[in-house]
Structure 1
Amino acid sequence: MSFISASRWRDVYVAAAARGVSACGDFLAATALALVLQQAGAGGLAVSGLMLAASAPLALLAPIAGRIADRADSRTVLVVAGIAQTGVCAMLAFTSAPAVIIALVAVLACGLAVTQPTLAALLPAMVRREDMARASGINQTAAMIGVLAAPALAGVLVGQFGARVPLLIDAGSYLALVAAGLLIRTRRATTARAAKVRWRVRDDSVIAVMIGALAATVAGVGAINVIEVFFIRETLHASTTIFGLVAASWSAGALIGAAILGRRERGRAGSVRLVRLTLLLMAGCCTAVVAAAGVSHALLIVPLWLAGGFCNGGLNVYTSVVVAERVPAAARGRAFATMSSATQGAGMIGFLVGGPLVEAFAPRPLVAAAGVAGLVAVLCCVAPVRRAGREIAPSQTLGRPHPVAAGDSVGA
């Protein structure tokens, strides 16, 4: 699996800092644009279109993005993409037409489709096998810190200054990717070009089942991302500031989950066991969404979102560890791109369904329906996970690759 003998923690922290800053910018812009569209009288279809534009490139460009991440120099990818995303986001700050906003968000997501698997595939090349869970936890924690700050910051900035200020801040945040590309010493280009590995998801039943379970659950619960803004702002009559604070609570839970569970797992658990744990964590995310449908005040969602976020943070760490351990080093970009494509594509189903549903039904029952749909999807994945566990020999644990092989958020 091509792990190194001594972990390069400096590179881990530089990559984590870049991800945290850029994640803050991403969610700052997404929250700001959703609030602007809602305040301008745009309905669920417009918000749904915005989220589709942010997700579709990650799903559709996965084959190309994965090859770029595995074959191109990682430094070049991060620098070029970071500069391009800075320019596109600066244009967004001076655009008010909904159609143009959606189009530019789609272009912005094209860069994310490439940088996301590039950074994810770099992480296993920076650390020893025993340190992979800890490094993944650090990376996820940094991202969650950025995401945690973004909604509350967006609520305050949009309320005080409109959308331009948060979007300009987002444009500056992409320069963190440029800095990371220049500062990170670990590079994958030479190794990836030298080792021409043919790897497919279906060659590894553990990876295939894990990705399928993620996609099924996201497809079930994904509509909450469209419904949430209308549920909190219109049904519960919360201000933009309260909306930002409530949305941030999910990220706070994910921050805690990634930090705690990332340190607990140090290569001890088998990959099948980790996939089973991800199912339990997915169920936890969906249960929090179901419970949120019964609240009478927006602030009562906070403890539920903290619990759901904790589960979300843990499953992000576990899925990263499973991919890093089971996929050949030269194919990790493709693996992470495939996983992102599956989850983003599944999320698009929620966006497509959520927009029309918000136009036709009250938000509260839709929140409950989204959570129940996610739980049903988790239950449907239990049997495939058990079959995968029976097919894998007991000796094929987390630290040992599958012989054939020799690689986002579930809730709000």
Structure 2
Amino acid sequence: MWRESGPVFRALWIGVLASNVGTWMQTVGAQWLVVGEPDAATWVSLVQAVTTLPVLLFALPAGAVADALDRRRLLLGVQGTLFLIAAALAALTALGAVGPALLLVFTFLLGCGQALTLPTWQAVIPEIVPHEQLPAASALGAVNTNLARSVGPALAGVLVAQFGSALVFGLNALSFAVFAVALLRWRRPADRPAGRPEHFASALRAGGRFVRWSPVIRRILGRVLFFVLPGSVVWALVPLVARQELGMGASGYGILLAALGVGAIAGALLMPRARRLLRTNQMIVVTGAVQGVALLVVALVPVALAVVPALVAAGAAWMMLVSRMNAAMQLNLPNWVRARALAIYQLVFAGGQALGAVAWGQAAEAFGLRQTFGMAAGLMLAGTLTVRRWPVHTHEDEDHAPAVFWPEPHLMLQPHLADGPILVSATYRVSGADPAAFVAAMQELRASRQRTGATQWGLFRDGADPARFVEVYLVATWEEHLRQHRGRLTGEDERIEERVIALADGPPEVRHLLPAEHSD
């Protein structure tokens, strides 16, 4: 299967690489365009913030759209729009008509396109790559991002110094066209999952509910936030480090960002060995410590010969942590909610960068660059120390493939799809097992119910018959409950339910209670 999908993945990977290189060139060109303005620290950090802020606004809606529509067509439409926006920015910059405020507007629009692209592309990968190859594909995705982070800034630094930012913006426009061509060559199968797409609002709620009731996903998101908030100081303020602390020009700025990219590529090459030698939480500790020390070097030793190697180490640590968390997300997500959950991941990741960029920019204005990097280093090391209290358990061996194991409900009354709420009850007899063990197993089942559609859940014991337990849960609509029957449950959900049944006297008696006003 990998042989069949390999050429498709390779072509799209190259297209994404071109787009990522263009995006990094765009960022360098935009930041250098405002680095000579009054209050440069604020303008530079605002460019970084406005680049990632759209993810906060549109990532989750984009994930819902990507789970409902043809992802190839969606990506094609977005790339075409981004091409037009980037081309207009290049033309206006060449005419000298772009000031800082207008530059932020264009940067925001390009960020909106990226907010739509990121979760859609992430959700496409499992359609192309076999499940067992997802960790390798995730690592290649990290290589892609960080190769672009290495090549893009270095190339942009040279081009900006020689020709100005307009040329860089034009090349960014062409990069979107390259990705569009790769998408045109991909022939996505036309068959779609059975059933109609989810309504937009209910799809958003379902995505948020899934993440809320997935402890593994919540821990991954929390760990990303602990790392990205202090780590974002590098991406926000490295232009000022180049100019104010090291006395470098645009090409020197490109060298510093290239050092980050080179380190990230080195980290990607080390990932297979690190994955074998270090468990997830050990990886978190090591990468956090390396990143914290690198930030301290920038704060305490503002010399190029020390800063460049420190940024190489920081790039490696950044890539290894992000790649590990991204792979854990991919392996712990079922297909039905993949784009939405990955959109929330992107929201946390980019939101942490945006908020961090603004905060570190203001800190640099108030306290100075060196003090700001010192504060970020302290925050990074403090966050790393929380691993013992809040570890990440990824459970990558769990089965998240769809599993249809509930029987179809047989009702005398036929509800409409929009009817609701629906009250589902399941009556168990627990006469031979330990009731406490059964209740504990039911708490795990509760999370399964609420991940897949239940809005409320309860477990009750009959006072007149202590062996009789009744589980009840509410689902918003009949259609939402049918989705539980026909595709939302996974092999892991089936394992949880089998454990509950093993502790009871057999399968439960299930009843579906419909709204009385719609029962005739």
Provide the TM-score with structure 1 as the length reference: 0.87
Amino acid at match of 1:218: V
Residue 336, structure 1, aligned to residue 342, structure 2: yes
Tell me the equivalent position of 1:53: 50
8 Å Cα contact 1:269/1:398 also seen in 2: no
CA shift at 1:227, angstroms? Answer: 2.4
Range with greater deviation from structure 2 (253-262 or 156-165): 253-262
Whole-angstrom CA distance in 2 between matches of 1:48 and 1:35:
11
Q: How does 1:8-407 map to 2 (within 5 A)?
A: 8-93=5-90, 94-95=92-93, 96-186=98-188, 190-191=192-193, 198-199=206-207, 200-262=210-272, 265=275, 273-274=279-280, 276-385=282-391, 389=393, 396-401=395-400, 404=448, 406=489
Amino acid at match of 1:14: A
Whole-angstrom CA distance in 2 between matches of 1:347 and 1:384:
22
Residues 1:83 and 1:354: Cα distance change in structure 2 (over 3 Å) = same
Range with greater deviation from structure 2 (63-72 or 6-15): 6-15
| 1:349-381 Cα deviation digits (max 9, x unpaired) | 212212222222221221122122122223234
Amino acid at match of 1:203: W
Whole-angstrom CA distance in 2 between matches of 1:211 and 1:299:
35
Whole-angstrom CA distance in 1 between matches of 2:2 and 2:356:
43
CA shift at 1:107, angstroms? Answer: 0.8
Whole-angstrom CA distance in 1 between matches of 2:154 and 2:390:
39
CA shift at 1:302, angstroms? Answer: 1.9
Whole-angstrom CA distance in 1 between matches of 2:186 and 2:82:
19
Question: Would you say how many aligned residue pairs link Structure 1 and Structure 2?
Answer: 392
8 Å Cα contact 2:153/2:258 also seen in 1: yes
Residues 1:278 and 1:66: Cα distance change in structure 2 (over 3 Å) = farther
Structure 2's unaligned 5+ residue stretches are 401-443, 452-488, 490-520
CA shift at 1:121, angstroms? Answer: 1.2
8 Å Cα contact 2:49/2:355 also seen in 1: no
Amino acid at match of 1:35: W
Provide the TM-score with structure 2 as the length reference: 0.70
Structure 1's unaligned 5+ residue stretches are 407-412
Question: What secondary structure does 2:399 align onto?
Answer: coil
Whole-angstrom CA distance in 1 between matches of 2:35 and 2:396:
48
Of Structure 1 and Structure 2, the greater strand share is in 2
Whole-angstrom CA distance in 2 between matches of 1:81 and 1:257:
31
Relative contact order (alpha carbons < 8 A, sep ≥ 6): 1 or 2 greater?
1
| 1:134-180 Cα deviation digits (max 9, x unpaired) | 22222222232222111111111111111101110011101122123
Identity %: 24
Between structure 1 and structure 2, the one with the greater Rg is 2
Whole-angstrom CA distance in 2 between matches of 1:15 and 1:289:
35
Question: What secondary structure does 1:384 align onto?
Answer: coil
Whole-angstrom CA distance in 2 between matches of 1:262 and 1:185:
31
Question: What secondary structure does 2:187 align onto?
Answer: coil
Whole-angstrom CA distance in 2 between matches of 1:26 and 1:181:
18
Cα-Cα RMSD:
2.6
Whole-angstrom CA distance in 2 between matches of 1:84 and 1:244:
28
Residues 1:278 and 1:177: Cα distance change in structure 2 (over 3 Å) = farther
